[in-house]
Amino acid sequence: MKYLTYTVALSIIITSIFSCSDSNGKADGYGNFEATEITISAENNGKLMSFTIEEGQKLEKGAFVGYIDTIPLTLKREQLEVSKSVITSKSKGVLSQINVLNAKLKNGNINKDRIENLIKDNAATQKQLDDVDGEIDVVKSQIRSVELQNAPVVNELKSIDVQLRQIDDQIKKSKIINPIAGTVLTKYAEPNEITAFAKPLYKIANLNSMQLRVYISETQLANLTIGQEVSVKIDYGDAMKPYKGTIGWIASEAEFTPKIIQTKEERVALVYALKINVINDGSLKIGMPAEMWIEN
């Protein structure tokens, strides 16, 4: 009899402990799973020549998924190259003139040095030196004149080089490169369609790690910190499937409970949003409801 009484009492104590830890069978928070979704848009205008992705497909970072027609850009680049060659040939003629004048200037300076040395030995006159200085000044003036004539040509060549770099950048951006590893959620375009700059092509998200957004009351906030581990549960047949989660973000300001909460009484309450990071085993989907349980 005493043993039976002890067993019953022990059972009541254990039941009470588990009831307290489970908050009388109610979860500490409810919410839905979400992921960071990125919309990939076209960076150029033209016909979508190739676009080899499908919804649900997993892509690696840096994967080549398609390209936009580059023939118009290639033709324009060839045209600029021809123009650059023509202008360069003109510039070479001007540069050859400058080289001839520089050679004259060099000889003039040599003659000047020779005459200055002769003057020291009283073997030359000041007039001879003045004549050489005059010839040097004329050559320098001619060089400046030719350089001024060549300046527009040089500027035009610089302008063409800038245009060539711009076209190379556009050709590079005609390749559609996937920026992050993830799963294609939505496909907005098909091959052979005409696309334009900033037009969406597809949406992708990394589903390996999901975020559960839940809302908690101010009284619960004191027991939660960023980095804290919690338990997350989803419906799994007639039971609940548990996951380990880590609190990654807690709102700094309160807000009214979102309208997705069913009862009017709960909707008018002030709550705090938080995000829980959960490793996805393949069962978690965007928008799936889940429960949060604070581990004691």
pLDDT at 254: 84
- Contact call for residues 278 and 213 (beta carbons, < 8 A): no
If you ran DSSP here, which 8-state letter would residue 276 be given? E
Mean pLDDT, contiguous 10-residue spans, the chain (296 residues): 38 36 69 95 95 95 96 95 86 72 84 84 82 84 76 84 95 96 96 95 96 90 91 91 95 75 55 94 94 84
Q: Name every residue whose Cβ is closer than 8 Å to that of residue 231 and which is 6 or more positions away in sequence.
A: 242, 243, 244, 245, 292, 293, 294, 295
Alpha helices in the chain (DSSP H): 2-21, 71-120, 126-173, 218-221, 264-267
Read off the pTM.
Answer: 0.68
Treating both helix axes as pointing N-terminal to C-terminal, what angle do 126-173 and 71-120 enclose, rounded to 10 degrees?
160
Distance CA 163, CA 79 (A): 11
For residue 60, the model assigns a pLDDT of 96
| Dist. CA 78–CA 71, nearest whole Å | 11
Residue 17 CA to residue 23 CA, distance in Å, equals 10
Neighbours of 216 (CB within 10 A): 21
pLDDT value, residue 296: 62
DSSP 8-state symbol, 261: S
Calculate the CA 179 to chain-centre distance. Answer: 8
pLDDT of residue 24: 54
Could you say which DSSP state residue 23 is in? G
Return the pLDDT at 114: 86
